[in-house]
């Protein structure tokens, strides 16, 4: 038997919630060293909710990016239905969705943010001619709303703080996503037939094209940092660490010519990430962010 007569049902539910939390955490650790280390430096009570958000985001992203021999569109639609059903019921047999619905319900994350995110994932299912309007729509759904989901956790119901920090959170999510686009530009173009940047011909990607994109990202990082300085202490250190990682990657990409960016995936080694972690913690303690 799975459950003995002496095992309280509530205990079994607690075990399943624990399993769900572990699945979200391990998903984050497997797919992102940078975010995992950033989350580690959040206050303990808010780490798991952020793992849950990242786990859900990663689940949807994997469907559109990796499951090439399977019915992606059907699977994404099933994920969408299962997600909102889990939120309504307050439980899901899918551990990652179970973990995510708890965060959505606990922190009052607007369902519209989830819908916008899933809409951006749907855009990845077909080849897109990214006009500026579609580009901004994709950035909103794939990155900015994720920043707002996390901000709901960080501000813990304080609506004044949430509204004050809304725009910087969106700018940070946008900057992270655009750095990802530059880092992965070759794989996206060659393997997935994706070209996100509007009015840019990647078959003739130039240093001028790259510079224009980088100017936009630089401004978003600047605005995001101002918001990070105003975050609650419970999350400021961890978010700043993620910012430092991505900003360093951005600077490293900035030093590379367009030709190199189109031919290889520029990375930051794990060893250097640890050095950045130490440096960012010193800066944080000295309040020279």
The fraction of the chain above a pLDDT of 90, given in percent, is 83
Distances (CA, A) of 288 to 41, 118, 192, 234: 18, 38, 41, 18
At 46-66, the pLDDT tens digits run 999 999 999 999 999 999 999
Q: Within 13 Å, how many C-alpha atoms sit on residue 43's CB side?
A: 12
Q: Which domains does the chain have, with CATH numbers?
A: 9-286 (1.10.600.10)
Q: What is the pLDDT of residue 10?
A: 62
Residue 288: pLDDT band (50, 70, 90) is confident
pLDDT at 1 over 80: no
Provide the whole-model pTM. 0.92
Residue 37: pLDDT band (50, 70, 90) is confident
**DSSP 8-state symbol, 203:** G
Q: Which alpha helices (H) appear in the chain, and where do they start and end?
A: 9-31, 33-40, 44-66, 72-89, 95-107, 111-123, 132-139, 145-155, 159-183, 185-191, 207-228, 233-255, 258-261, 270-286
Angle among Cα 27, 175, 112 to the nearest 5 degrees reads 65
Q: What is the pLDDT of residue 285?
A: 86
At 225-269, the pLDDT tens digits run 999 999 999 999 999 999 999 999 999 999 999 999 999 999 999
pLDDT at 9 over 70: no
Q: What's the rounded mean pLDDT across residues 96-114?
A: 98
């Amino acid at each position: 038997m799975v459950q003995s007569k002496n095992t309280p049902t509530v205990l079994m539910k607690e075990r399943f919630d624990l399993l769900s939390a572990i699945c979200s955490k391990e998903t984050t650790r497997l797919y992102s060293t940078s975010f995992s280390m950033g989350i580690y430096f959040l206050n303990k009570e808010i780490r798991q909710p952020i793992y849950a958000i990242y786990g859900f985001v990663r689940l949807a992203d994997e469907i559109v990016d990796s499951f090439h021999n399977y019915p992606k569109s059907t699977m994404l639609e099933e994920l969408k239905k299962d997600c909102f059903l889990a939120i309504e019921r307050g439980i899901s047999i899918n551990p990652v969705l179970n973990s995510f619905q708890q965060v959505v319900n606990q922190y009052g994350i607007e369902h519209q943010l989830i819908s916008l995110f899933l809409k951006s994932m749907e855009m990845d299912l077909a080849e897109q001619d990214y006009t500026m309007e579609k580009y901004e729509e994709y950035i909103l759904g794939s990155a900015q709303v994720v920043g707002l989901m996390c901000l709901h956790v960080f501000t813990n119901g304080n609506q004044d703080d949430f509204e004050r920090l809304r725009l910087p959170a969106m700018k940070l999510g946008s900057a992270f996503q655009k750095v990802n686009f530059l880092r992965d530009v070759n794989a996206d173009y060659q393997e997935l037939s994706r070209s996100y940047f509007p009015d840019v011909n990647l078959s003739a990607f130039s240093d001028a094209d790259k510079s224009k994109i980088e100017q936009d990202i630089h401004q978003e990082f600047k605005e995001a940092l101002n918001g990070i300085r105003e975050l609650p202490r419970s999350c400021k250190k961890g978010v700043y660490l993620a910012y430092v990682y991505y900003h360093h990657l951005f600077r490293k990409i900035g030093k590379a010519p367009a030709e190199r960016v189109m031919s290889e995936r520029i990375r930051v080694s794990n060893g250097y990430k640890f050095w950045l972690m130490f440096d960012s913690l010193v800066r944080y303690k000295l309040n020279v962010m």
